[in-house]
Amino acid sequence: MLNSQNTEEKVNGVLRWIKTIPGRIISSIVILAVTFLILQQGYLFLSRGQAHKLVQILVAIIWGVGGIAMLFWVTNWVAEQLPKKWTRRLQPFIFVGPAILMMGWFLAIPVVRTFVASFRSAYGTSWVGLQNYVYAFTDARMLETFRNNLLWLVFGTSFSVGFGLLIAVLADRSRWEVIYKSIVFTPMAISFVGAGVIWKFIYTYKGEGIGIHEIGLLNAIVTALGGTPQPWLSLAPWNNFFLIVIMVWLQTGYCMVIISSAIKGVPTELLEAARIDGATEVEAFFKITIPYIQGTLITVITTVVIFSLKTFDVVRVMTGGNNGTNVIANEFYLQSFTYSNAGRAAAIAVILLLAVTPIIVNNLRQFNKGRKGF
Amino acid sequence: MSKKGYQSQKKASSFVVNFVLIVICVIWTVPTLGVLITSFRQSEDIFRSGWWTVFPHKEDVQTGEITLDSTVDVNGPITIDGVTATFEEWRQGITLSDGRTIQWYGNKRTRKLTVTEKEWVGFSTNLTLKNYIDVIGGKTITFKDGAGNTITRQGNNLGDAFLNSLAVSIPGTVIPILMAAFAAFGFSWLNFPGRNILFTVIVALLVVPLQSALVPILQDFVKMGLNGTFLGIWLAHTGFGLPLATYLLFNYISSLSRELLEAAYIDGASNFTVFTKMILPLSVPALASFAIFQFLWLWNDYLVALIFLGEKNRVVTFALASLVGEKGQDWHLMTAGAFVSMILPLLVFLLLQRYFVRGLMAGSIKG
């Protein structure tokens, strides 16, 4: 009894001391130091990498997740020890600051640095003016990537959105809508690398000869129909389309889900009225449904267009950009890491950025229009 | 058209509608099904025949053998079972009217012909888990090719890659979400100078392609020794994921009830308490949908992992891509590897699809 009273007094004493000014300063420093030490020790443990793999992974996860929570808690605690006026001024930046710093470090500033680098030489040692851009817009390799990206953009987008629309409309009329939609949607969970393996297996080619059975589905079908098997992925320029099929396979589900929910928003009275007035299903679709979901269609198309411009993984894994299948993002990768030409790589990156600029401008305009109480 | 007429039209089209949808769904499923089945077949079977042969089908099965006696002149026309043809024609194989195919085996001196017939073959293929064990483990492995030769390879250690992917994806999801939630709260409920311009910049950053940021960041990472570390890739994914996360969470958090928060402030709660005790619990649906979105994106990411982690801490996409690069014909390993890389995102996706769709709708502004 006496003992616990004693501890209580001691605790109260400590709490009172913390509230004094020197107490606040010293405890803040101690807490910051302890936080730093914990994070540093975790980092050192991970970079030594001697423990069992499973232990390392567990520590990494706890350290990463716990570390970020601790940082927020500690910086906020320290800020709250300051005089009220300062706390109020500083606290918003403790909340917003980390996100702003990260976006600055990883997006805003690098974009500017890339822009500057695009006017410099291969190793960034001297200014070369527009030379990298001249290369980007005249070199045969680059022109090939532009052509291919255009194919991706036009065919990838139109087939993804087209199939998405078709499936959304048809499934809307079927009793088994949920099943159909799940099947088409599921590839969205698969990585482009995984999808690459799946489709590479479809296109695989064993060569010709007696006793050879094609194990790739496409060649087996072609052989069964009396044709000769083909090395599909080396057949320029058609191989581009075999790659685009993969994107369509992955992206249609996305288009379908978004479009489908828009279609469900079309008022049934409107459609009924059109039918009573004698419109056929096709007419009702084009005259009512399409105009009604126009906004959604534009959003979906924009998203898929951006996707097709940045396409990389599929090409990298399937062909490495060989046999006339190179795309902008892969050329960027090659220039950066294989040919070590930082200047050209930067110019290519800037071109990609310019390609999406209209979308950025549009986003900003929409945002400015939409905010009122901001 | 009367209502009745419309309904009969709908019924008539229902068959066509379902037929088209079933065809589409079959096309969408078969590629994955083929890989799934192949991943469970024995390597020598995979090299020898297509995966569809695991289903009952008609196949050429050898049913007999004919040996010509030495009196037959192999250089002239040869008559077997009433059919006369030259050696070259027999070499190509001739199908008789009763369905049997007779083909010369080897060169002229063998004097041997094989008789094959189309017969039904059932579910005869031996299924195995060996491909998965081989591709997940990191030890030396052996397997048989189509001709029955034993081949030795270094394993791909996809098990380790799987753990690495977890170590990348879990903190890589939690860190940006926590930062974005704090920031979204700050932007929607706190006043500070530069608020408007900073948020406008975030909106502008939504669709910036990663390519225009990668190289300068890599330079920083190399200088700071962060290249190849988990911390490095968490930071990178945080930076890249934050604009969308902040934007989505801002939309959600700024729409929360003003009265509720004001009541809390009047009771003397600090900003931090309001955030942790009220904002976070209320935002769980939005946090969950972005978390699934970000987790799938990180798990399936190849580009960022390729540049910032590479060989040092191989994630599943990287390991699978190098498997394709190094062993492009080892379908037993590639198909099993593909499924190892797909299993977790598929589970997350199928179990939490509702949240994912919600995030997708909100996030369709980004690419």
Taking Cα atoms as reference points, which of B121, B27, B217 lies closest to residue A105?
A: B217
**Is residue B129 within 8 Å of residue B337, measured between CB atoms?**
no
Write the ipTM.
0.87
Q: Report, as an integer, the average pLDDT of A152-175.
A: 93
Q: How confident is the model at residue A304 (pLDDT cuts 50, 70, 90)?
A: very high
Tally Cβ neighbours within 10 Å of residue A243.
25
Of A60, A107, A317, the CB nearest to B213: A107
Pairing of strands B83-85, B150-154: unpaired
Q: Report, as an integer, the average pLDDT of A26-50.
A: 82
For chain B, what is the mean pLDDT?
84
Of A254, A302, A310, the CB nearest to B360: A254
Q: How confident is the model at residue A316 (pLDDT cuts 50, 70, 90)?
A: very high
| Nearest C-alpha in A relative to B315 | A193
The position carrying tokens 């078709």 is A166
- Among A57-61, A239-243, B160-164, B359-363, the range scoring the smallest mean pLDDT is B359-363
Tell me the two tokens of residue A196.
């690459």
Tally Cβ neighbours within 10 Å of residue B139.
9
C-alpha to C-alpha distance for A346 and A122, rounded to whole angstroms? 10
Q: How confident is the model at residue A196 (pLDDT cuts 50, 70, 90)?
A: very high
**Is residue A242 within 8 Å of residue A222, measured between CB atoms?**
no
Tell me the two tokens of residue B351.
């179990």
C-alpha to C-alpha distance for B231 and A102, rounded to whole angstroms? 13
Cα A8 from chain centroid (whole Å): 54
Q: Report, as an integer, the average pLDDT of B277-291.
A: 89
Return the sign of the alpha-carbon dihedral for residues B169, B175, B177, B180. Answer: negative
For Cα atoms B358, B359, B361, give the angle at the middle one, nearest 5 degrees. 65
Of B51, B246, B367, the CB nearest to A306: B367
C-alpha to C-alpha distance for B74 and B86, rounded to whole angstroms? 8
**Is residue A86 within 8 Å of residue A78, measured between CB atoms?**
no
Tell me the two tokens of residue A356.
């999406």
**Is residue B298 within 8 Å of residue B237, measured between CB atoms?**
yes
Counting Cβ atoms within 10 Å, is residue B75 exposed (0-12), middle (13-18) or buried (19+)?
Answer: exposed
Q: Report, as an integer, the average pLDDT of A2-19.
A: 69
| Nearest C-alpha in A relative to B169 | A61
Pairing of strands B112-121, B140-144: unpaired
- Highest mean pLDDT of the ranges A147-161, A211-225, B2-16, B140-154: A147-161
C-alpha to C-alpha distance for A243 and A309, rounded to whole angstroms? 14
Pairing of strands B112-121, B57-67: antiparallel
CB-based contacts of A34, cutoff 8 Å, min separation 6: none
Residue A187 with chain B: CB contacts under 8 Å: 28, 32
Tell me the two tokens of residue A136.
């980007």
Q: Which of residues 203-232 of B touch A (CB under 8 A)?
A: 203-217, 220, 229-231
pLDDT in tens, B188-213: 988 888 888 999 999 999 889 999 99
pLDDT in tens, B114-147: 888 877 776 656 788 888 888 888 777 788 777 7
Say if B202 is an interface residue toward chain A (CB within 8 Å): yes
**Is residue A174 within 8 Å of residue B25, measured between CB atoms?**
no
The position carrying tokens 């990191």 is B138
Looking at chain A, how many residues does it have?
374
C-alpha to C-alpha distance for A174 and A265, rounded to whole angstroms? 17
Please judge whether A193 and B324 are an interchain contact, meaning their C-beta atoms are less than 8 angstroms apart.
Answer: yes
Please judge whether B217 and A106 are an interchain contact, meaning their C-beta atoms are less than 8 angstroms apart.
Answer: yes
Q: How confident is the model at residue B366 (pLDDT cuts 50, 70, 90)?
A: very low
CB-based contacts of B34, cutoff 8 Å, min separation 6: A198, A201, A202, A217, B51, B52
Taking Cα atoms as reference points, which of B118, B113, B107 lies closest to residue B81?
A: B113
Residue B234 with chain A: CB contacts under 8 Å: 64
Residue B241 reports pLDDT greater than 80: yes
pTM across the whole model: 0.86
Angle between helical axes of A84-103 and B158-189 (0-180°, round to 10): 140
C-alpha to C-alpha distance for A158 and A304, rounded to whole angstroms? 9
Tell me the two tokens of residue B190.
């706190």
Residue B296 reports pLDDT greater than 80: yes
DSSP B256: S
Please judge whether A170 and B20 are an interchain contact, meaning their C-beta atoms are less than 8 angstroms apart.
Answer: yes
Q: Which of residues 309-338 of B touch A (CB under 8 A)?
A: 316-317, 320-321, 324-325, 328, 331, 334-335, 337-338
Please report, to the nearest 10 degrees, the dihedral formed by the alpha carbons of residues A189, A192, A193, A197 taken in order: 90
C-alpha to C-alpha distance for B310 and B322, rounded to whole angstroms? 10
**Is residue A279 within 8 Å of residue A289, measured between CB atoms?**
no
Task: Please name the amino acid found at residue B55.
Answer: F
**Is residue A264 within 8 Å of residue A178, measured between CB atoms?**
no
Number of H helices, E strands in chain A: 19, 0
Three-class SS of residue B101?
A: strand
Find which of B8, B26, B28, B218 to mutate to test the A interface (most A CBs within 10 Å of its CB): B28
Residue B196 with chain A: CB contacts under 8 Å: 374
DSSP assignment string, A144-166? HHHHHHHHIIIIIHHHHHHHHHH
Which whole-number Å values give the CA distances from A311 to A177, A233, A325, B155, in the listed order?
A: 31, 17, 12, 30
Task: Give ranges for CATH 1.10.3720.10 in chain A.
Answer: 132-370
In B254-330, alpha helices (H): 258-266, 271-274, 280-282, 284-300, 303-308, 316-326
> How many beta-carbon contacts under 8 Å exist across A and B?
348
Of B51, B170, B200, the CB nearest to A364: B200
Find which of B21, B185, B276, B316 to mutate to test the A interface (most A CBs within 10 Å of its CB): B21
The position carrying tokens 């978390």 is B291
pLDDT in tens, B141-191: 788 777 777 888 777 788 889 999 998 999 999 999 999 999 999 999 888
C-alpha to C-alpha distance for A30 and B102, rounded to whole angstroms? 90
Q: How confident is the model at residue B1 (pLDDT cuts 50, 70, 90)?
A: very low
Residue A348 with chain B: CB contacts under 8 Å: 211
The position carrying tokens 């195995």 is B128
The position carrying tokens 């605790």 is A11
- Among A322-331, B128-137, B289-298, the range scoring the smallest mean pLDDT is B128-137
Tell me the two tokens of residue A76.
């906020």
| Region for A237 from its dihedrals, namely left if φ exceeds 0, alpha if ψ lies in -120 to 50, beta otherwise | alpha
User: The domain at B158-363 falls in which architecture?
Assistant: Orthogonal Bundle (1.10)
Please judge whether B204 and A307 are an interchain contact, meaning their C-beta atoms are less than 8 angstroms apart.
Answer: no
Number of H helices, E strands in chain B: 16, 8
Tell me the two tokens of residue B153.
């390879």
CATH code for the structural domain at A132-370: 1.10.3720.10
Higher pLDDT, residue B208 or B67: B208
pLDDT in tens, B306-362: 999 988 889 999 999 988 887 777 888 899 999 999 999 999 888 888 787 777 776
Q: Which of residues 253-312 of B touch A (CB under 8 A)?
A: 270-272, 275, 296, 299-303, 307
- Highest mean pLDDT of the ranges A240-244, B63-67, B107-111, B359-363: A240-244
Three-class SS of residue B157?
A: coil
